[in-house]
Amino acid sequence: MRTKFLLLMLIILPVLAFGLLKFDDVAHVPAGYVTKVTCSEIFVAGRAPADVATTNFQNISPTFDWVSIDVDDAGKTVRGHFLGFGRSVAVFNQDHGCRLDPGTGLTPVAPLPARPSFDVRIPFTKTLNPPVQDALLQFFDDALTEHPIITRGAVVLQNGEIAAEHYAEGFTASTRQQSWSMAKGVIQTLVGIAIKQGHLDLDEADLLAEWPTADPRAKISINNLLQMASGLAFGEDYANPFSDVDQMLFNAGDMGKFAAGKPLARDPGTHVQYSSGTTNILSLILKRRLGESGINYHAFPYTELFWPIGMQSAVFELDPSGSFVGSSYIYATPRDFARFGALYLQGGIANGTQILPGNWVDYTTTPAAGITKHYGAHWSLNRDGVGLPGLPKDIFYLGGNDGQYIFVIPSKNAVIVRLGVMRYPATFEQDVFPRIAAIYDAL
């Protein structure tokens, strides 16, 4: 009998241990999400902890109600867990924002260089256009549609001036807000700058040591990655805690390497599949290539992009390994996100300086050849007029989780920025697009 019991335990205990490990992987998703967002909203955006707790996590998942959080104001850290599992800590750094540690440890990162002594802020003249302002205020009136969209800040630029601007209670023009996937456009821009400076080439392949020449992934090019046509298998299902995107963001020590480890599902360049992992692979490639050239990767976004175009508020956050989370984690003010949109509106020129390659905006807004008309190089397009019906086909835009948007409208010489926490059952088509169309009509 004792022998049978021991044999049974030898079977049950490994199964139980495996089950607990898998549950810990799942628990890292709600615990990591709440821990990371709480840290950034308090220490980067400067919001009150009680306000963050009551307004940032509604209508996501019931599991979030079971996440316990401890905020250390003095140490500028946030710790969280889900019923004792998925223990995570987010640590704030003045230069680099909040970094989430799911238990892998944090690679040390040097501080940023001193900002230029001259004022690189590009001032906006604020000349409100009453019809445009009235249309923009529709973002903040949740009685206008069936579902609330909870807009926190919105700005319209036209002809280099602020034509409309408004903020929700508790938010101002200087409150940093989360980009979510709009950050993908920033990594795309940094790749463009690196190409302009000779550190990368658009058509080069053999990009990572993890993809040796004999590996079919070695055929993936920078262009394939920018067009989301790498062919790599990557699950972008936020509702599934086992999905690649959730495990990458909340349970991976090196997000780029995590995504680069995925197998090919299709031949590179034959199919567009939106993937946050793809952008973090680009961030990893940029990190390694700049390092080989003796360039400070962590300063690069600031010295080559943010500061020259006047994005003084921008904070680009890192993963545990020290790579920029290009898929998701930039904090900046709505005005600074508008400055970023204006860079593309102006053909890659800011303050009289050519920041991007001369053809970069054309490349960005060209559909992935033979694959889709709706996606260019990390930006969404309206080339067939289907995605944004009734709006001009020259519009291109970045979108992010919770309804973050930058719309660039060359035919109106305008940029529209909308930030907030839109959640299900609200949708872009039903609850946001009519307001975008109203602003366009008023321009």
Per-residue pLDDT, 364: 98
The answer to whether the peptide bond before residue 49 is cis (omega within 30 degrees of 0) is no
Query: pLDDT for 311-355, tens place per residue?
Result: 999 999 999 999 999 999 999 999 999 999 999 999 999 989 999
Question: Where is 157: in which H helix or E strand?
Answer: strand 151-158
DSSP 232: B
Per-residue pLDDT, 2: 54
Share of the chain residues as helix, strand and coil, in percent rounded to the nearest 5: 40, 20, 45
**Residue 42: closest CA among 102, 83, 90:** 90
Distance (Å, whole) CA 416 – CA 421: 17
- Tell me the two tokens of residue 113: 């260089």
Query: pLDDT for 11-23, tens place per residue?
Result: 343 333 344 446 7
* 308-to-15, 124, 178 alpha-carbon distances in Å: 56, 15, 21
Distance (Å, whole) CA 366 – CA 378: 11
95 three-state secondary structure = coil
Amino acid at 36: K
Distance (Å, whole) CA 28 – CA 87: 7
Residues of the chain with pLDDT under 50: 4-21
**Residue 68: closest CA among 89, 46, 42:** 89
Mean pLDDT of the chain: 93
Angle between helices 183-196 and 276-292 (to 10 degrees): 30
- Tell me the two tokens of residue 5: 């019991």
- Which pairs from 199-207 meet CB under 8 Å and 24+ separation? 199/289, 199/290, 199/293, 199/295, 200/285, 200/286, 200/289, 202/226, 202/363, 207/285
Query: pLDDT for 258-284, tens place per residue?
Result: 999 999 999 999 999 999 999 999 999
143 three-state secondary structure = coil
pTM exceeding 0.85: yes
101 three-state secondary structure = strand
- Tell me the two tokens of residue 7: 């044999």
Per-residue pLDDT, 122: 67
Per-residue pLDDT, 39: 98
DSSP 81: E
